[in-house]
Amino acid sequence: MIRQFTLIILALTIFSCTKKDDKAVVWIYTSLYKDTVADVQPQLEKAFPDIKVQFYQAGSEEVAAKVQAENLSGKIQADVLISSDRFWYEDMAEQKKLMAYKPKNSEKVDPLFKHPEDFYITVSFPVMVLAYNSDGVTEKDAPKTFKELTDSKWKDKVSIGSPLASGTSFTTVAFLVEKYGWDYFTSLRKNNIIAEGGNSGVIRRLQSKERPVGIVLMENVLRLAKSDPRIKFIIPADGAVIQTNVLALVRKESDASNAQKVADWFFTEAGQTALTKSFMYSGNASIKLDTAPDFSELLKTAKPWSREFISKTMKEREKIKDQFSKIIF
């Protein structure tokens, strides 16, 4: 009798473990910050106890490279993509690598920030701004526009991320070329601008005062509010560059219902609030970013996204990178 009872308990234990191990797995490939992923993952597990959500976290260029490698191998693991290089998503959509899907609760996102055929949608908005180290540059003297960085007074004082390494830096370069032309970057080169790595490199140079002024994501500055309040940001009077963290579903032969559920969650109040904790704007105007100017104010001066700009930049993507390299490096 005892032996039978033991076997029953063992069988139940094995069944329980099997059920846990047999959970449906959804892979999210993302360039979101590691602490954002750490915050989001347990919330997803709580919201979907029958789904095991796994993350691959890296920079946007690395995410793109991994997805490209999987596509070439024919073994695609990624289910949901969230990263900042909107132009890459356009390319993926053209190659029919994405699945058309309109997440629930996403209707408040402006059509300017969606694919017209629902192959991707912006889930949050990083913003590229000017920043300076107040221990060396006063608020009065700090540059108020991107254009001012070409003034000789800023020689040997400015750094930016490289469009070869960072999706948000590429977007910024594309917008500034559209606004000021390549002469702008020729002037920056004369001022001995440093253009290396991504936003984290700009922040390091700001903190060390190697380059006390930089073009960087606002969220990187806000994340330092307590640990290094010397670093300040300015919304450029000639328009901040609105970036897009884009969400898409990878086109696969397997059932996508669980990936769709996970995508839906990012547009719930909980999902959007989690992203604003990383100091990025929500596409839902009712969810505010209290530590920064209202998003609607930024949109008044920011150069707007358009299908024409996206199409043009897509065609000239490699040309932009090559021309930047020739001028700056």
My answer on whether 102 and 226 are in the same domain is no
Residue 302 belongs to a domain: no
Task: Answer yes or no: do 120 and 135 share one domain.
Answer: no
Instruction: State pLDDT tens for residues 163-191.
Output: 998 889 999 999 999 999 999 999 999 99
Q: Which residues pair with 114 in a beta bridge?
A: 121
3-state secondary structure 20-32: HHCCEEEEEEECC
Kindly report the number of other CB atoms within 10 A of residue 154's CB atom.
Answer: 19
pLDDT > 90? residue 5: no
Q: Identify the DSSP state of 306.
A: -
Task: Please answer whether residues 214 and 178 qualify as being in contact, where contact means their C-beta atoms are separated by less than 8 angstroms.
Answer: no
Residues 136 and 282 in one domain: no
Q: Give the pLDDT score at 16.
A: 33
Q: Are residues 159 and 74 in the same domain?
A: no
- Is residue 256 scored above 50 in pLDDT? yes
Mean of pLDDT over the chain: 92
- Please indicate, yes or no, if residue 299 is contained in any of the structural domains: no
What tens digit of pLDDT does each residue of 110-140 get? 999 999 999 999 999 999 999 999 999 999 9
Strands 213-217 and 127-133: antiparallel
Q: Is residue 6 predicted with pLDDT exceeding 80?
A: no
Asked if 317 and 168 sit in the same domain, the reply is yes
Residues 31 and 120 reside in one and the same domain: yes
Residue carrying the six token digits 């408040």: 108
Q: Which domain holds residue 71?
A: 2-125+244-292
Token pair of 280 as six digits: 């990025």
Q: How many independent structural domains does the chain possess?
A: 2
Q: Is pLDDT above 50 for 234?
A: yes
Residue 269 confidence (pLDDT) above 90: yes
Q: Are residues 118 and 136 in the same domain?
A: no
pLDDT at residue 17 in the model:
33
* Residue 304 is assigned to a structural domain of this protein: no
| The pLDDT value given to residue 284 | 86
Whether residue 157 sits in one domain with residue 78: no
User: Does residue 320 lie within any of the structural domains?
Assistant: yes
Whether residues 170 and 86 share a domain: the answer is no
Residues 209 and 254 in one domain: no
Is position 298 within any domain?
no
Same domain, 316 and 214: yes
In a domain? residue 300: no
207: Cβ contacts below 8 Å, ≥ 6 apart? 133, 224, 228, 230, 231
> Per residue in 17-51, pLDDT tens?
333 468 899 999 999 999 999 999 999 999 999 99
Q: How many CB atoms lie within 10 A of CB 43?
A: 16
pLDDT at residue 2 above 90? no
Residue 220 forms part of a structural domain: yes
* Whether residue 208 sits in one domain with residue 106: no
pLDDT in tens, 146-157: 999 999 999 999
Whether 301 is covered by a domain: the verdict is no
Q: Quote the pLDDT of residue 285.
A: 83
Q: Is the pLDDT at 245 greater than 50, yes or no? A: yes
| CATH code: domain of residue 248 | 3.40.190.10
